[in-house]
Amino acid sequence: MPAGSPPLSRAPPVADPRPVIIAVDGRSGAGKTTVALELAALLRRHRTVSLFHLEDIYPGWDGLADGVGSYVSSVLEPLHRGLPAQWTAWDWAGKHDGDSRTTAVADVVLVEGVGAAHASARPYLDAVVWVEAAAAERKQRALARDGDTYAPFWDRWAEQEDRLLAGDAVAAVADIVVDGTNGVAAAPERVLTALAGLPALEALLAPELARRRGLAFSAERVAAHPAAADLFAALFGDSPDAVWLDSSIADGGGDSGQPAGRSRFSIMADASGSFGQTATHADGVTTVRAGQVAARIHGPFFRWLDSVWGRRAVRTPEHFPAEFTLGWLGYLGYGLKAETGGAAEAPPPGAASGTQAPPSSVPAAQPAAALLFAGRAVVVDHQEKCLYLLTLADAGLPASVAEADSWTSQVRAMLAQLHQADPPALPPAPAFSIRDGEARYKAMIAASLGEIRDGNSYEVCLTTQLEAHSGGRVDGWAAYLALRSRNPAPFAAFLRFGGTAVCSTSPERFLRIDSAGLMRAEPIKGTRRRGAGPQEDAALKAELSSSLKDRAENVMIVDLLRNDLSHYALPGSVTVPRLCAVESYATVHQLVSTIEAQLAPGNSRAQALAAAFPAGSMTGAPKISTMAILDRLEAGPRGIYSGGIGYFSLNAAMDLSVTIRTLVLQDTDDGGTHLSLGIGGAITADSDDDAEWQEIQAKAYGVLSTLGATFPG
């Protein structure tokens, strides 16, 4: 701008005159009218709302399709342009056109009725809510509401609904689905919460989001230290979705060479209570379920994670020594690499073991991520031999405070009656097969060495999977108890999400970010089995410590992680306080390093995690090009294996292990269970294929021997 020129004037921004339009659709009698009316009342607390019922515009009992057409042209089109909608109502008593009506422009327009979210209407809509229930229940409700008026026309109207929806599966594309099987009285509040989670409505529902961040956190200390397995079984044994982040090594004692304090706390939680939710991510959609309401958020998982975690929502009380202050717990699968520079995983082959299995024995595809939100939990302090009962409450709602108090009282009463239970018995182990037999695995090693010689990678972390199918159900809980007893680990975990159980005895931390932003990764590269006696064991440990190959593997991953953490770290804050230290566990010795960095203020914690995902110790270096090599070599997806297990806390802390030494059990439709165990090792320029083949057997030994199984072949 030339000197002396007057400042440029800027016109004030023009407010968008268009309302946010939300459709509440569903077949007759599902409960959509109740949902729409109650939702309108909730929305009016902070904004203006207009409500339009499609039944006012249908031209008679044969007019469903024509009514939807009039609704789109007369109501949605003008409202979408920010203009009032003028339309002609139907006179149901006189059976002819009635008076002219107007639906005013408001902050929100709720449109409700069969066809509200028809394909022709969806271009004008900002969100779609679908309410569903079985036909018999819907008919009973509709006739109870409208009596003899509706009874003669039910079948006639239902046929029109069938025709309208035949080529337009609204439920499949809806943003929010409400299960109205048992009524919808409790649904509107959850629908409002779900709407607040949709990126398109964040600005509109800012008051609701602000209230969600103003919650009261409580950590009540209890002077008790029962057996952890008995405690989890009593509290969460019957929960369909539950997580136990179990520092099982704390029960074992002994000198493992671990840093002090790593195994101090265990966390137990489920998705019960008014705050309970579950979230699964698959095919680019995160589905969040809370009671009878499910919301679908389209877009990357890490973008969704950033919206629900990473901003400090509660503060840690001074008397509470742990970092977890309630929040999300579960797993992130290896397939999320598609969002962090890798390619999407190919679907599993039809027969992982080389023989065609009957369709009923094939497990469902695992979600790329599965988490539950815990509004209450138990933290076990193994050092101080006590418990902390964690609760979340909306301090402005007496019912919420009462719910939290009631739960802590129930837990205290249960502790007084807790008794030690005998562990459930494991059935005979099924025979395992391996996805890649010795010849093929060694061929993959040779191919990896070729990629290294060609300069495409320095280190290729090659994996395969062991798989088995049991004709009867295998109890994941029984399997986990046996594993934690035989092979305790600092990052052990038991997860149950419906028919899937995850039994992990991982010794490796992937990434921790504490509430102050300190990031820490502790990669493992280098493994030896434990010796049969003290002398052999000491020799194996010394050999690992001095192995040039294993140290080279470890240092390469340390360099990779230094780079990963640096993307969101304060410049100059990346350090390596521990390099190639030996840690010893029940069945193996491991070579472990520690990398730390300070997250730069203002940076996204979810994006810092994404920059490091998946763990470099499970890919190799450089990460992106090596993941592409692995995609070409490995015969099937890794699934949960090679990802991370842990928590995302409301105080902005997180802690994830690397998903190794992990047995996954999935119920199948034939009444059986599919079992899988991922194993692998790092291939470098001086790798020996016989030694690598022996290494994966050593890594599988702890799990297989616990099950009474042997390595196939």
Which residues are part of the catalytic machinery? Answer: 508, 525
Identify which of 290, 66, 278, 102 has the alpha carbon closest to the alpha carbon of residue 188: 290
Give me 655's structure tokens.
């802690």
- What residue type is 634 in one-letter code? E
Q: 97 has which bridge partners? A: 90
- Hey, CA dihedral for 382, 383, 385, 389, is it positive or negative? negative
Q: In 188-276, at which residue ranges do the beta strands (DSSP E only) sit?
A: 216-222, 241-246, 265-270
- Cβ(171)–Cβ(116) below 8 Å: no
Please count the other Cβ atoms lying within 10 Å of the Cβ belonging to residue 355: 7
Please count the other Cβ atoms lying within 10 Å of the Cβ belonging to residue 489: 27
**626 φψ region: left (φ > 0), alpha (ψ -120 to 50), beta (else):** alpha
User: Phi and psi at residue 71, in whole multiples of 5°?
Assistant: -60, -45
DSSP secondary structure string, 554-619?
Answer: HHHHHHHHHHHHHTTBPTT--EEEEEEEEEE-SSEEEEEEEEEEEBPTT--HHHHHHHHPSPGGGT
Identify which of 617, 581, 480, 699 has the alpha carbon closest to the alpha carbon of residue 262: 581
**Calpha distance 173→534 (Å, rounded):** 62
**Calpha distance 477→233 (Å, rounded):** 9
- Using CA atoms, how far residue 339 sits from 40, 287, 336, 371, 658, in Å, is 37, 17, 6, 18, 18
Helices (H), 362-460: 398-417, 438-453
Instruction: Using DSSP, state whether 548 is helix, strand or coil.
Output: helix
**How many Cα atoms are found within 13 Å in the side-chain-facing hemisphere of 606?**
19
User: Phi and psi at residue 247, in whole multiples of 5°?
Assistant: -75, 70
Give me 437's structure tokens.
């037999």
Burial call 427-444: b when 16+ CB within 10 Å, e when fewer: bebbebbbbbeeeebeeb
User: Phi and psi at residue 591, in whole multiples of 5°?
Assistant: -100, 120
Identify which of 634, 15, 60 has the alpha carbon closest to the alpha carbon of residue 348: 634
DSSP 248: G
- Cβ(381)–Cβ(261) below 8 Å: no
- What residue type is 618 in one-letter code? M
**Calpha distance 267→647 (Å, rounded):** 9
Instruction: Using DSSP, state whether 229 is helix, strand or coil.
Output: helix
**Calpha distance 82→17 (Å, rounded):** 5
In the numeric block, the tokens 């909730």 are attached to: 42
- What residue type is 56 in one-letter code? D
**Calpha distance 78→85 (Å, rounded):** 6
